[in-house]
Amino acid sequence: MASPKKDKAAAQNNIEVGEKDKEEKPKDVAVAQKDKEADKNDKAPAPLGNVLAIGLTAVGAAAGMYLLSKLASHTKSVPYAQSASDDIGINLNKWQHPVKDFSSADENLEDRLNSLECVGELDISQKVWDNATNLVDEVLDLLMVKMREQALKYEGLVFDGYRKQGSARDGLKIRSPDEFDVLLEYHIERLYVEPVPIVDFGIPRPGLGRMKILNEDCEIETQFATWIRRKIIVRDQDSYFLKARNLHQTVFESIMDKCLEKLSRITRQNISFRLIRSMNPPSVNLTITDIQREKGSLESFMDWLFTDEDDPDVIDIDVVPAMMIVTEKARGTSGFMPCPRYAVVKWMEESQTLASRFEDPSMTWRICTSGYEKHCMDMARNDKKKRYIMTACRIIKTFMSKERDKSRAGENHLYISTFLRSFYLKNITFYCMLFTESVTGVYQALGYFLGFLEISLEEECLPEFFHGNYLLDNDFPSCAVGGQVNLFGHVSPDTLINAKRSFKTVKSKLYNMFDESVLESSACQKFQNFVKSSK
C-alpha cells in the first residue's frame, strides 16, 4: 500500500495584505458585504467604491505577467463577465489534475527524470485522482448537510459553501492525492465587519487585523445577544469585535464535533471509511481513514490486480473557515470578474513569542487573498510557458518531498528539504512566470527554477510575491501597498548556510536534467535586482 505522503504545505495558501485594509472606508466593506447578499438575489452588483481592480493578461505579456489597470470608478455598467472562457478564479471550483507538460525540446527528459531515484514518477493516474477527489467531494458534501443543521443554533450563521484551494486546486499536487485544502465560506447575516490593522510598536503588522463590527451598538446588543453571551462578540473600549479564538473554539470546533459524531463510520456504496478531526487553528483537519474499497465487479478486481499504483489509504482535508470581507475585481479573458478576499482566524497563543506584544492575541485575524493566487494559476494552466514552469515546480516539490521522507525515516537527507516549504516553491513559480520571456520546455524551466531559487538563497531573501510587490505597483495597488515581506526573514543564519550548502547537492543530483547555459541571463538578472531591492 502507498503510505500517506506528506508534502505538507499548501494548507493556508494565503497572501497577506496589510495596510490597504486600513484605507478602505467602513462603508465600502459594508457595501461589499451587502453586495454579496445582492448577488444571491441575482441583482446586479452595486458599485464597489474605491475597491481596486486587478487585471491579468491571458498570455505572459512581454511586460510581465500582468497587464493591470486601475479602474477610476466602478459602476453598474461594468458587467461581470460570465462567458465560458472565464471559467477561472471565482467561477472555478474544481480540483485540477496535476500539470505535467513536456515539450519536444525536452526530448527524453521525462523518462530520465522518471528513472532518477530522487524524482521518479510525476504522473498521478486519472483513475486514482478521480477516486480520491470524488471521495473528498462526497465527504465534504455530507459534512455540509450536517453543518447547516448545526448552524441553526447560532443566530444568523450561514455556511455558504466550500472554495477549493491549495495544490490540488492549482494543479501542483505531487505523488499522491492524499491532501486537500478548502476554505469553508461562512457569514453572519446582518452583521457587518471590517478588519482594522494591528499596530505593533507603531508599525502595522502586515495582513493581520482585528475584526470590528460596524453595526449600531443597540442593534448588536439586541440582535446578537447570544453571540455576546458566548463571548464571541466582545466589547473593547468603544467598539464591538468578533473574537477569533472564541469563534473558532465555540462555534467551529463544536459544530464539527457534533457533525462527526454522526458521521464517524460511513459506508457508501462500496466504500467505507472513518472520519476523524483534529484542530490546528485556523484549520480543522479532517482525516479520512480506514478506506476500504470493495472490489465489486470483475472489471475493477482485474484493475486492482494489475495496477501497481495504489489509492492513498489516508486522505487529509484541511478545512479553513473563512469570512468573505471584500470583493476586488480581476480581469479575466473577456472582462472583469470578482476576486474575493477572506478573513480567517489567526490568534496566537500566549506561549508564542510574538503574542505578548499584541494587546490581545485571541482577537487576531489574518486577511488572506488566496483568490489572487488561484486566479493567476487558473490563467497559467492555459499557457504553455507557464505549464513548463509548473511542471518544473512539481519536479522540485517531488524531490524535496522524497528527501523529507528520508528525514522522517531517520535516514541521511538533504538539509534544504526540511526548510524549503512548498509555499516558498510556489512563490518561486510565480517569479519564474513573471520574469521569463519565453520558455522552450521543462529542461529550461527547471534551469530557471533552480536559478531563481539559488538567487534567493544567496541573497537570503525571498519576497512574498504579491505583498508589497512594487513591480505591480501601478496595476495591482491593493497588493503593492505596504512593506514587502521576506519569507526567509525569520530563518536563522545557520539554517540558511546549511540550506545553501545542501542546495549544491540538489543541483548535482539533478545533473543533466536542466541547463543553466540555455537561460536568458536578463531574466535572472532582473529577478536578482528585484530581490536585492527588496531587502
Ligand X SMILES: *[C@@H]1O[C@H](CO)[C@@H](O)[C@H](O)[C@H]1NC(C)=O
Q: Which is nearer to ligand X, 423 or 470 (CB)?
A: 423
Contact positions with ligand X (CB under 6 A) in 208-247: none
* DSSP sequence for 438-474: ---SHHHHHHHHHHHHHHHHHHT--B-SSTT-GGGTT
Report the run of H or E that residue 229 belongs to, with start and end.
helix 225-229
Tell the smallest beta-carbon distance from residue 55 to ligand X (Å).
17
Binding mask 104-133 for ligand X (x = CB under 6 A): -----------------------x--xx--
Q: Where are the beta strands (DSSP E) in 229-314?
A: 233-236, 239-242, 265-268, 271-280, 283-293
Helix, strand, or coil (residue 239)? strand
Residue 313 is given by DSSP the state: S
Of 75, 226, 297, 438, the one binding ligand X (CB under 6 A) is 297
Contact positions with ligand X (CB under 6 A) in 458-487: 464-466, 487
Stretch that binds ligand X, among 205-213, 299-307, 386-394, 505-513 (CB under 6 A): 299-307
Q: Which residue is nearest to ligand X (CB)?
A: 296
The residues near 77 (Cβ < 8 Å, ≥ 6 apart) are none
Q: Which is nearer to ligand X, 57 or 285 (CB)?
A: 285
Helix, strand, or coil (residue 19)? coil
1, 7, 240, 289 from 408: Cα distances, Å: 18, 12, 46, 21
Of 423, 440, 470, 518, the one binding ligand X (CB under 6 A) is 423
228, 336, 435, 484 from 70: Cα distances, Å: 40, 12, 22, 21
Say whether residue 14 binds ligand X (CB under 6 A). Answer: yes
Say whether residue 91 binds ligand X (CB under 6 A). Answer: no
Tell the smallest beta-carbon distance from residue 433 to ligand X (Å).
10
Tell the smallest beta-carbon distance from residue 143 to ligand X (Å).
16
Tell the smallest beta-carbon distance from residue 283 to ligand X (Å).
6
Of 362, 417, 427, 478, the one binding ligand X (CB under 6 A) is 427
Cα angle 83-141-374, degrees, rounded to a multiple of 5: 40
Stretch that binds ligand X, among 69-77, 99-107, 253-261, 276-284 (CB under 6 A): 276-284
Q: Give the total of residues touching ligand X (CB under 6 A).
A: 33
Say whether residue 426 binds ligand X (CB under 6 A). Answer: yes
Closest CA to 189 of 215, 211, 157, 219: 157
* DSSP sequence for 97-110: PPP----GGGTTHH
Q: Alpha-carbon dihedral of residues 453, 454, 456, 459, nearest 10 degrees?
A: 180
Stretch that binds ligand X, among 401-409, 420-428, 451-459, 512-520 (CB under 6 A): 420-428
Of 82, 115, 254, 280, the one binding ligand X (CB under 6 A) is 280
Q: Which is nearer to ligand X, 127 or 501 (CB)?
A: 127
Stretch that binds ligand X, among 12-20, 210-218, 381-389, 497-505 (CB under 6 A): 12-20
Q: What cell numbers appear for 273 in the block?
A: 471509511
Say whether residue 11 binds ligand X (CB under 6 A). Answer: yes
Binding mask 130-159 for ligand X (x = CB under 6 A): xx--x-------------------------
Q: Which is nearer to ligand X, 75 or 264 (CB)?
A: 264
Alpha helices in 340-441 (DSSP H): 370-380, 384-408, 416-419, 422-435
Say whether residue 269 binds ligand X (CB under 6 A). Answer: yes
Of 146, 230, 258, 293, the one binding ligand X (CB under 6 A) is 293
Residue 210 is given by DSSP the state: E
Contact positions with ligand X (CB under 6 A) in 369-408: 373
Alpha-carbon gap, residue 264 to 337, rounded angstroms: 40
Question: Residue 168 in contact with residue 95, Cβ under 8 Å?
Answer: yes
Alpha-carbon gap, residue 165 to 10, rounded angstroms: 8
Say whether residue 285 binds ligand X (CB under 6 A). Answer: yes
Q: Which is nearer to ligand X, 4 or 47 (CB)?
A: 4
Alpha-carbon radius of gyration of the chain: 23
Q: Which is nearer to ligand X, 8 or 40 (CB)?
A: 8
Closest CA to 378 of 183, 185, 171, 180: 171
Of 26, 161, 296, 489, the one binding ligand X (CB under 6 A) is 296
Of 86, 170, 178, 311, the one binding ligand X (CB under 6 A) is 311
The residues near 5 (Cβ < 8 Å, ≥ 6 apart) are 175, 176, 178, 312, 401, 405
Using CB under 6 A, list all residues that contact ligand X.
8, 11, 13-15, 127, 130-131, 134, 269-270, 278, 280, 283, 285, 293-294, 296-297, 300, 303-304, 311, 318, 373, 423, 426-427, 430, 464-466, 487
